[in-house]
């Protein structure tokens, strides 16, 4: 074998090795938990299992509603959900994307009869009574509901110790602009310590990314519940103190 052939084989091998990390994290469940932690168990049709199964982009590029991209390094992004935006308008912001994830989950298990999003004031509006197609229903709520609607209508989570996958950190002071972050995954260690993957969409409407904790809690890219509380207060503090909320199914 000539030196040129050896060089080409080595180059191909090097390219393959450096390509593997980008291909490995294809779903949320492929993001490794912190050392010594294991994901909590989930049932196949749970919201937790649905969120874990969401696909990830092969890069951390966040696409906006108009097709443009945020510049590299705009977020400390651990991963970006590979979910194209549904509408060609500035609709899927933070609260909207949280509503979409919940609605898509119920749709995936054929349970749209249990879907009820909220009007602006927090009143539940069941899909079964809306007389709208699924996308039209989502579009209406993305246009007329926001973080205040979720804060007013969803179930309050008593404490950080009760936090679970799918729960939201909701910030809104007076009904105007606010923010919603969503818990995407949850892991624990043998000592009972908890770690969470948490992310959000933002303004203008954009794809949902999972924020990298940057080792602030010594858990790699994963947050503690208290750590994300501090993060949300420091980054989105102008929108108010985070409160923990959970979507409810329609009765």
Average pLDDT over residues 137-162: 97
The per-residue pLDDT for 24 is 54
Cα distances (Å, whole numbers) of residue 146 to 48, 95, 141, 220: 23, 6, 8, 31
- Among residues of the chain, what percentage have pLDDT more than 90? 86
The total number of residues written for the chain in this structure: 251
Question: What SS3 class is residue 251?
Answer: coil
Taking the C-alpha atoms of residue 251 and residue 132, their distance in angstroms, rounded to an integer, is 19
The rounded mean pLDDT for the chain is 90
Residue labelled with tokens 């609260």: 95
Nearest to 227 by CA among 52, 68, 34, 48: 34
The per-residue pLDDT for 25 is 56
The per-residue pLDDT for 7 is 31
* 5 or 42, greater pLDDT: 42
Cα distances (Å, whole numbers) of residue 96 to 93, 101, 131, 200: 5, 9, 20, 10
Instruction: Convert the pLDDT of each residue in 70-88 to its tens digit.
Output: 998 999 999 999 999 999 9
Instruction: Convert the pLDDT of each residue in 31-82 to its tens digit.
Output: 999 999 999 999 999 999 999 999 999 999 999 999 999 998 999 999 999 9
Residue labelled with tokens 């939201």: 168
Residue 240 has pLDDT above 50, yes or no: yes
CA 134 to chain CA centroid, Å, is 21
Angle between helices 134-144 and 94-108 (to 10 degrees): 160
Residue labelled with tokens 């409407």: 205
Instruction: Convert the pLDDT of each residue in 158-201 to its tens digit.
Output: 999 999 999 999 999 999 999 999 999 999 999 999 999 999 99
Residue 14 has pLDDT above 50, yes or no: no
The pLDDT confidence band at residue 215, using thresholds 50, 70 and 90, is confident
Residue 17 has pLDDT above 90, yes or no: no
């Amino acid at each position: 074998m000539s030196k040129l052939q050896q060089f080409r084989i080595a180059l191909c091998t090097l390219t393959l090795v450096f390509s593997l990390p980008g291909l490995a994290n294809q779903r949320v469940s492929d993001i490794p938990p912190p050392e010594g932690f294991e994901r909590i168990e989930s049932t196949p049709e749970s919201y937790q299992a649905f969120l874990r199964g969401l696909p990830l982009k092969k890069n951390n590029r966040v696409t906006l509603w108009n097709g443009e991209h945020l510049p590299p390094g705009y977020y400390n992004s651990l991963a970006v959900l590979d979910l194209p935006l549904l509408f060609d308008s500035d609709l899927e912001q933070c609260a909207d994307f949280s509503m979409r994830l919940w609605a898509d989950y119920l749709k995936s298990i054929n349970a749209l009869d249990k879907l009820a999003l909220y009007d602006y004031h927090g009143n539940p509006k069941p899909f079964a009574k809306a007389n709208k197609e699924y996308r039209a229903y989502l579009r209406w709520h993305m246009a007329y509901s926001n973080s205040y609607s979720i804060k007013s209508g969803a179930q309050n989570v008593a404490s950080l110790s009760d936090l679970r996958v799918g729960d939201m950190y909701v910030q809104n002071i007076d009904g105007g602009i606010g923010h919603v972050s969503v818990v995407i995954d949850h892991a624990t260690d043998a000592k009972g310590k908890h770690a969470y993957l948490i992310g959000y969409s933002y303004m203008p409407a954009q794809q949902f990314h999972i924020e990298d904790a940057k080792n602030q809690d010594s858990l790699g890219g994963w947050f503690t519940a208290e750590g994300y509380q501090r993060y949300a207060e420091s980054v989105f503090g102008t929108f108010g103190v985070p409160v923990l909320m959970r979507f409810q199914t329609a009765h």
